Amino acid sequence: MDPSASEPKDTLKDRERPIENSPSTVAGQASTSTPHLAELGSTFTVSDGMKVYNPVSESSTPKTELDDTFFEPTLFDVQSHHSSVLSRNKRLNEAPLLTAKHRDAEKAEKERLKKGKWPNTTIRIKFSDGTIIQNTFPSDSPIQPVYGFIRLALRDEVLSRPFILYQPPRTKYPEHPIPPSTSTKPKPAYAKTPIIPPANYGHVRGSAVQGLQGGTGGQETLYELGLVPQSVLLVRWEDDEEMNASSYPAPIHEHLKAQSQPLPPSIPKEPAPTPTTNTTPGQAKPGGASATGEKKIPKWLQKGLLKKK
């Protein structure tokens, strides 16, 4: 006797019914074929904290022409710049001499406080047409889970296409270490000159090397890459220049495009309060004149004028 004959008809119909591409199904299929997705955790899915934003159109961002007075520094701008220069010089000239051990300990303490302040990092992935997908990652996570998150959102026909994440102009964050170039073509003289930052280069995001040259495809964390607390990474396809055109639509699942929403506007910063000076009537100003507009005459000059009269 055939065992399938005793089964209900509904069960047989369910077996023959094709599986729809739901978000959880796509996530499960991609997790079995895409490397580094196990590092995302068992609770990570396509819709878990993911947001999709529409491309920004020119009509949605009105162009506002700034007045010439906007670029003129105010009194508050000059005072704040002057105070920052003085504090920087004081910090550099009057700082106590520290040994290498104390400097490393102080640097490690600052990094620990910064990591505690931003345990998570918001990453926005922008495609060539302006479509943005966003998710949050742990700040101590490497760049590979970001690549895995992008592949979860891509359609099946483009999963095998290689791509790389970068920030303009040429800061790349590869998924795997890039093999050294075996080209025998001599480099021009300007390409052989290393980039040496000046002494007053200032703070560099991440470490000195990653902040200037991007990632190496290793296990550098998002914090070491300088992507904390939030960053925007662009997608560049390596084998098809047509996909890098602005007219090419983002190759993500249709159900994700249906959930897209307009990009929220940036919150403008509140203008800094202008410093107020407490002056009383009749109080002298630095120029030698009082608040009432009367000019004071020195006593020795008053005596000379009285003698002439």
For the chain, give every domain's residue range.
14-56+107-178+205-258
C-beta neighbour count of 214 within 10 angstroms:
22
> What are the Cα distances from residue 246, in Å, to 15, 83, 167, 234?
43, 45, 16, 12
- Give burial (CB, 10 Å; 0-12/13-18/19+) of 149: buried
Q: What is the pLDDT of residue 287?
A: 47
pLDDT at 178: 79
Is residue 243 within 8 Å of residue 237, measured between CB atoms? yes
DSSP E strand stretches across the chain: 51-53, 120-126, 132-138, 163-167, 171-173, 230-237
Please, are residues 52 and 132 in contact by the beta-carbon 8 Å criterion? yes
pLDDT digits (tens, 9 = 90+) for 4-63: 444 444 443 443 333 334 444 434 444 433 344 444 433 344 446 789 999 987 555 566
* pLDDT, position 96: 83
Per-residue pLDDT, 193: 58
Give, in order, the Cα–Cα distances in Å from 61 to each of 66, 122, 269. 15, 23, 18
What would the two tokens of residue 191 be? 């390409």
Chain mean pLDDT for the chain: 74
Report the chain's C-alpha Rg in angstroms: 31
CATH architecture of 14-56+107-178+205-258: Roll (3.10)
Residue ranges of the chain whose pLDDT lies below 50: 1-47, 200-212, 277, 279-282, 284-285, 287-291
Name the token pair of 250: 């983002």
Q: What is the pLDDT of residue 194?
A: 61
Look at residue 208 in the predicted model and tell me its pLDDT. Answer: 39
pTM: 0.58
